[in-house]
Amino acid sequence: MPELDSAILSRLLTSLTLGFHIIFATLGVGVPLLISGAEWIGIRRKDDHYRLLARRWTRGFVVTVAVGVVTGTCIGLQLSLLWPSFMEVAGQVIGLPLFLETFAFFFEAIFLGIYLYTWDRFKNPYFHWLISVPVVIGSTLSAFFISTVNAFMNAPKGFKLENGKIIEIQPLIAMFNPATPTKATHVISSAYLTSAFVLAAITAFMILKKGNNEYYKKALHFTMVSGFVFAISTAIIGDFSGKYLAEYQPEKLAAAEWHFETEEGADLIVGGILDENGEVKYALRMPNFLSILAHGNPNAEVIGLEEFPAEETAPLFIHYLFDLMVGIGMFLVALSAQYLWSYKRKKGNPYSKYLLMLIVASGPLAMLAIEFGWIFSEVGRQPWILWHVMETTDGATTSEHVGSMFLLFFGLYVVLGWICTAVLLKMFRGNPAETEFEEMDQR
């Protein structure tokens, strides 16, 4: 197969590793915040339910962290192994945030170790809670730093290219490039959001299976309130991201929206399919909404794909990914709002079967939205590895062994994913919350 050259295979292997890693990375960024929150409420209200919640989440979290750490190590090294020419160039400009990310990771790793093994060591329970704070800071900061690296690839700034040589480097400008604010906040907020819904989904599943008791009710309420807050913030930041795209990467937005002709008062296309003549069929057209998304003004002009050379635009299938991501995001806002409304209303039933089943679905859906969002963002900047500076094919390795390495890592991730799931299931089935709570009561 001639088309499977090193560059294509390198892209496949990188997406495989990242696609697997971000499941665990997302939980790694979001779950510590929820654990810390639950423990804090538990201490403040002297409520052992919340403290048990923090403990049980932590126990499962460690297993996912392990997979996150090792797959993160993989992607970290694969950057140099698969993209040596890219790293040689980019390393000179974005070495700083990459380096800082490992500091944040180091910080988190140290305190996570301490947190895990000091549950009953201190007389004052706030001391143990305090140790969770650096874990939250470390995980969020590492998400921030690594997002700035990705933002740089979308908006390379802070250097000049002269005859293939990089000059006049300004590390901070490269790090705080125009894409950084929206990218980093969207990544962090959606990681919090997804973690909240994943934990809510597990709780809802347990309520459906075992009926609701105090412990599960508190867990559901805590995760759904957090989920609501982060769903709103993610949606707002998502809107800013759209405006960023319109300004800095108009061809990415145009490809995502199947917006071919430059026009004022552009319609937003939702769903639909593209037939072989390039006609959009079966789509829902929302008048002037694309102009609102892009510029906050229903009559603003939105640049269409026709303005760009065809070989410099992304594949048009990213439209589906964009719609799925936004669709799931909207669903999560509506679902958590519905829960809160049922909870507040005297006659409402926040534990109705249909609502719980939707919550169970929301966890995997949120994770899917993360994947869709990443694929959209990454494929959307093709053919560039460095936006308008370096093409992806020029950054890849020339080694002939990428294909077999792909199979090797594919096997690894299958094994890791499978055993990780089995271990988590065994861990919680063998030791249900009810028995653990009784044991706590007896002490």
The amino acid occupying position 352 is S
CB of 101 to another protein, least distance (A): 8
The amino acid occupying position 61 is F
CB of 210 to another protein, least distance (A): 22
**DSSP assignment string, 268-283:** EEEEEEE-TTS-EEEE
Q: Each residue of 201-234: b (16+ CB within 10 Å) or e? A: bbbbbbbeeeebeebbbbbbbbbbbbbbebbbbb
Nearer Cβ to another protein (62/274): 62
Closest CA to 219 of 190, 234, 198: 198
Closest CA to 38 of 219, 160, 199: 219
From the list 85, 212, 213, 288, which residue makes contact with another protein (rule: CB under 8 A)? 85
Q: How many residues bind another protein (CB under 8 A)?
A: 75
CB of 417 to another protein, least distance (A): 10
- What binding mask, one character per residue, do residues 130-169 give for another protein by CB under 8 A, x or -? ----x-------------------------------x--x
Nearer Cβ to another protein (85/338): 85
Nearer Cβ to another protein (6/212): 6
Cα distances (angstroms) measured from residue 242 to each of 246, 257, 328, 386: 6, 11, 16, 20
Nearer Cβ to another protein (79/314): 79
CB of 174 to another protein, least distance (A): 9
Q: How far apart are CA 180 and CA 152, in angstroms?
A: 7
Is the Cβ–Cβ distance between 202 and 356 less than 8 Å? Answer: no
81 binds another protein per the rule CB under 8 A: yes
From the list 14, 26, 36, 71, which residue makes contact with another protein (rule: CB under 8 A)? 71
The DSSP H or E segment spanning 263 is strand 263-264
Contact positions with another protein (CB under 8 A) in 1-60: 59
201 binds another protein per the rule CB under 8 A: no
Query: Peptide bond preceding 383: is omega within 30 degrees of 0, i.e. cis?
Result: yes
Nearer Cβ to another protein (146/335): 146
Nearer Cβ to another protein (20/50): 20
Is the Cβ–Cβ distance between 61 and 424 less than 8 Å? Answer: no
CB of 420 to another protein, least distance (A): 7
Nearer Cβ to another protein (385/402): 402
Contact positions with another protein (CB under 8 A) in 278-337: none
Closest CA to 43 of 103, 112, 122, 146: 122
From the list 43, 87, 337, 389, which residue makes contact with another protein (rule: CB under 8 A)? 87
3-state secondary structure of 386: strand
Contact positions with another protein (CB under 8 A) in 400-439: 401-402, 405, 408-409, 412, 415-416, 419-420, 423-424, 426-427
Read off φ and ψ for residue 151, nearest 5 degrees.
-60, -40
From the list 12, 96, 130, 389, which residue makes contact with another protein (rule: CB under 8 A)? 96
- What binding mask, one character per residue, do residues 246-275 give for another protein by CB under 8 A, x or -? ------------------------------
CB of 22 to another protein, least distance (A): 16
171 binds another protein per the rule CB under 8 A: yes
Q: How far apart are CA 59 and CA 53, in angstroms?
A: 10
CB of 160 to another protein, least distance (A): 12
Contact positions with another protein (CB under 8 A) in 225-244: none
CB of 190 to another protein, least distance (A): 24
Cα distances (angstroms) measured from residue 394 to each of 10, 151, 182, 267, 378: 12, 19, 28, 37, 16
